[in-house]
């Protein structure tokens, strides 16, 4: 790797060594990792190229699309509102959003949505790109949607609907869309470089995504998985460089709260560190009881489509899984993003962690897992 920056505390040299080895062992282009322990940064590393077209280098503040890491941001907002007594995760969604109570969704709860159990992984309607950006047309489509299965009887990944549904509950309670509420409640006060809806002034400095050679494509357009990921084809995936793809400033600027976050490694790691320990001299965002509620398993095993990848879900967050996403333990919670992005927190170990990259690698991507294993080694040392 020709370009490499950052630092690691002497007890966390294994993280720096692993980060460098990732560039040797994988087709990395640009990447970054940040680790907080007990509210203090112990490693912040970055390297490589942010934009392959121009050769622009990655720097400490470079943000990159982190896809479904957005679910962690939205879920944290929901738990903050629950902690404040403004949201009951086990109450019907319709308590906050009366128009939602249609077509068998009358008693469906936020907890059911957060556990990917709502029966709403995809919509029958195909909103246009402009309608997705406008927010309300998607909300109307969710209101009109009949669940694919009886809510809370099965689970399947709710790619985009997850974010719009929980996001609309956040909007009904706070008056702000989830990206705006996150910035007001957390992002701006803590100076975190993480957004759902990238500001225009950040567009030129972002890292541009590239695909790894041989990365498998999506199944056919009628397959439910494709419909989940593309909102019935309104968005392209991965479709990086065509209109409405994931390098398109118009897409990154809209609020896609299920899969449209853009962040730096320090922004995401800082978010989880703020949640579990507090940073910048502030109290932790999530109380121990709130974390206990968030990490109680809600879904695991075989999904509605018949696959069991080994994922375990709490209320809105991925949980520690030796098969699917190894973290640190039973108090670990986070979310990953397409192509290799991953961030999590753990209040038992006092850790906030994030790895981000612009080279998208698919199944079997071990880059973040290797870095987490290095953190585990350092904590035990």
Answering whether pTM is above 0.85, one says yes
The SS3 call for residue 312 is strand
For residue 108, give every residue at least 6 positions away whose Cβ sits within 8 Å of its Cβ, in sequence order, or none: 92, 93, 94, 100, 118, 147, 151, 152
Angle of CA points 130, 134, 135, to nearest 5°: 125
Helices 161-174 and 136-144: angle between axes, nearest 10 degrees: 110
User: Could you tell me if residue 351 is left (phi over 0), alpha (psi between -120 and 50 degrees) or otherwise beta?
Assistant: beta
Structural domains counted in the chain? 1
Domain limits for position 217: 4-380
Question: Measured between alpha carbons, how far is 223 from 243 in angstroms, rounded to an integer?
Answer: 22
Look up the CATH number of the domain holding residue 91.
3.40.710.10
Question: Measured between alpha carbons, how far is 358 from 149 in angstroms, rounded to an integer?
Answer: 36
Question: Measured between alpha carbons, how far is 237 from 235 in angstroms, rounded to an integer?
Answer: 7
The 8-class DSSP code of residue 147 comes to P
Closest to 157 measured CA to CA, from 378, 313, 349, 375: 313
User: pLDDT by residue for the chain (381 residues), tens digit each?
Assistant: 568 899 999 999 999 999 999 999 999 999 999 999 999 999 999 999 999 999 999 999 999 999 999 999 999 999 999 999 999 999 999 999 999 999 999 999 999 999 999 999 999 999 999 999 999 999 999 999 999 999 999 999 999 999 999 999 999 999 999 999 999 999 999 999 999 999 999 999 999 999 877 666 778 888 999 999 999 989 988 788 778 899 999 999 999 999 999 999 999 999 999 999 999 999 999 999 999 999 999 999 999 999 999 999 999 999 999 999 999 999 999 999 999 999 999 999 999 999 999 999 987 899 999 999 999 999 998
């Amino acid at each position: 790797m020709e370009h490499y920056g950052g630092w690691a505390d002497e007890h966390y040299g294994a993280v720096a060594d692993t980060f460098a080895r990732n560039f040797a062992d994988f087709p990395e282009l640009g990447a970054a990792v940040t680790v907080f322990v007990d509210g203090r940064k112990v490693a912040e590393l970055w390297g490589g190229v942010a934009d392959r077209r121009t050769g622009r280098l990655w720097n400490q503040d470079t943000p990159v699309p982190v896809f479904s890491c957005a679910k962690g941001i939205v879920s944290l907002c929901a738990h903050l509102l629950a902690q404040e007594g403004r949201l009951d995760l086990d109450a019907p969604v319709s308590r906050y959003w009366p128009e939602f109570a249609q077509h068998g969704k009358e008693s469906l709860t936020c907890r059911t949505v957060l556990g990917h159990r709502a029966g709403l992984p995809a919509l029958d309607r195909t909103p246009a790109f402009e309608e997705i950006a406008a927010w309300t047309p998607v909300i109307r489509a969710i209101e009109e949607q009949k669940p694919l299965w009886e809510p809370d009887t099965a689970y399947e990944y709710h790619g985009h609907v997850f974010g719009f549904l929980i996001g609309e509950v956040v909007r009904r309670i706070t008056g702000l869309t989830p990206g705006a509420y996150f910035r007001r409640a957390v992002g701006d006060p803590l100076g975190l470089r993480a957004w759902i809806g990238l500001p225009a002034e950040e567009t030129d400095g972002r890292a541009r995504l590239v695909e790894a050679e041989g990365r498998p494509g999506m199944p056919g357009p009628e397959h439910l998985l494709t419909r989940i990921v593309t909102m019935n084809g309104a968005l392209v995936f991965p479709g990086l460089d065509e209109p409405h793809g994931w390098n398109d400033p118009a897409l990154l600027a809209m609020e896609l709260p299920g899969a449209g976050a853009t962040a730096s490694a320090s922004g995401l790691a800082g978010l989880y560190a703020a949640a579990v320990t507090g940073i910048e001299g502030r109290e932790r965002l999530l109380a121990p009881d709130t974390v206990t509620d968030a990490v109680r398993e809600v879904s695991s095993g075989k999904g509605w489509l018949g696959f069991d990848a080994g994922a375990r879900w709490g209320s809105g967050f991925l949980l520690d899984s030796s098969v699917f996403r190894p973290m640190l333990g039973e108090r670990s919670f986070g979310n990953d993003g397409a192509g290799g992005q991953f961030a999590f927190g753990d209040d038992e170990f006092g850790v906030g962690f994030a790895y981000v990259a612009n080279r998208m690698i698919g199944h079997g991507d071990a880059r973040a897992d290797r870095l987490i294993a290095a953190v585990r080694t350092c904590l035990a040392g």
